[in-house]
Structure 1
Amino acid sequence: MFRSMDDFYEVWRDEAKGTQQVLESLTDESLHQEFTEGYRSLGRLGWHLATTLEEMVSLTGLQFSGADFSKPVPDTAEEIAEAYRFTNQSMITAMKENWTDETLDEEHDLYGETWTVATLLKVLLLHQVHHRAQMTVLMRQAGLKVPGLYGPAKEEWAAMGAEPPIV
């Protein structure tokens, strides 16, 4: 998927921006929204995204400061959004200082499998998109506005004076 680190940075920049928008759309009250009892809440999903960056990438040996996945979900949406912002910036800085295009071919034992760094970056990206999609459903259930990530959201269509497509 990624043939150079610049390929990754280009895609990641937009996806991280979308994740940041989703996290910044949360409210403290919405953090407890669940699909159904016993599943990850909106706050838990947001915290999972913030902490997974360091948790996954550090398995390659790359070290940087980030949100600690062993800590409980913060009480405020702002803390989650700030943790993601800080961790993401720390991760990108560490990658740019330590990784080259050749790093993409390095193999590491991740989760009981051998992955190249390129595979890790693909999984990291898709993992983020996957959980962000779950979050947008929970956001709708919580009555929050959902930011348009790949095109206008319902509210954004209305702001443009257009009917949102139903089909």
Structure 2
Amino acid sequence: MYTSISHFINEWNQEAASTQKVLDALTDESLQQRVSPEDRTLGSIAWHIVSSTPGMLIEFGVTVEAVKDESTIPTSAREIAETFRNVSADTSQAVEQQWTDQSLSEMKNVFGMDLPRAVMLNMLIKHIVHHRGQMTVLMRQAGLQVPGIYGPSREEWSKMGMEAPSI
């Protein structure tokens, strides 16, 4: 649990940058990739990350601008990536300006649960990490190169002249 706004901002910026790398690697064609007809497309998962971040913040009591036309998934991978770039910066700025280290322990009922603000911020990060993982699997299925997140991807190992670990 976060004890300072700066700790959250540092982690948010790191995770958002990793998410941005994934979003920047998408192509317009890849947005239609899905596991099965019943599942979300890669584009809909990407747009969910982008459009739900402000909604979660608003639910938490942070004033941010909602994504315009959030129910319409763009057909442009670039538009999705650029919108997240703005959402990510707005997230850092809004939390830093509106909350304090002391306010992190304040309780609020969100999604039917009484939670401290620090836990809400942790939920926000876990949300993008969860969906980013889903996206990387669909990216492989779509034939895209997956960027390394917490270490090199298979392709990045190769570029370093090394073989990716098999385990």
* TMscore range, shorter length: over 0.9
SS of the aligned residue for 1:18 comes to helix
Alpha-carbon contact 1:66-1:86 (below 8 Å) kept: no
Amino acid at match of 1:81: A
Report SS of the residue matched to 2:165: coil
Query: How many angstroms does 1:14 deviate by?
Result: 0.8
Q: Which residue of structure 1 lines up, in the alignment, with residue 42 of structure 2?
A: 42
Structure 2 residue 81 is the aligned partner of structure 1 residue 81: yes
1:150 aligns with 2:150: yes
CA displacement, residues 65-112 of structure 1 (integer Å, 9 cap, x when unaligned): 242474211110011111111111112111111111012112222111
Distance in 1 (alpha carbons) for counterparts of 2:69 and 2:61: 17
Residue of structure 1 equivalent to 2:59? 59
Pair 69,6 (structure 1): closer, same or farther in 2 beyond 3 Å: farther
Partner Cα separation in structure 1 for residue 69 and residue 50 of structure 2: 8
1:37–1:143 CA distance, 2 compared to 1 (3 A): same
Query: What is the distance in 1 between the residues matched to 2:12 and 2:72?
Result: 26
Residues 142-161 of structure 1: CA distance to partner in whole angstroms, max 9, x if unpaired? 00000000111000011011
Hey, what's the Cα distance between the residues in 2 that align with 1:15 and 1:164?
23
TM-score, scaled relative to structure 1: 0.95
In structure 2, the gaps of 5 or more residues are none
Q: Name the amino acid aligned to 1:98.
A: Q
Match of 2:165 in 1: 165
Partner Cα distance (2:98, 2:112) in 1: 24
Q: Is 1:13 paired with 2:13?
A: yes
Runs of 4+ in 1 over 4 A off after TM superposition: none
How many residues are paired up?
Answer: 167
Indicate the percent of aligned positions where both proteins have the same amino acid. 42
**Kept after mapping to 1: 8 A contact 2:12/2:92:** no
Measured in 2, the distance between the counterparts of 1:66 and 1:139 equals: 27
For the aligned residues, what is the CA RMSD?
Answer: 1.2
Name the SS of the counterpart of 2:162 in structure 1.
coil
**Secondary structure class of the residue paired with 1:115:** strand
Structure with bigger RCO (C-alpha 8 Å, 6+ apart):
2
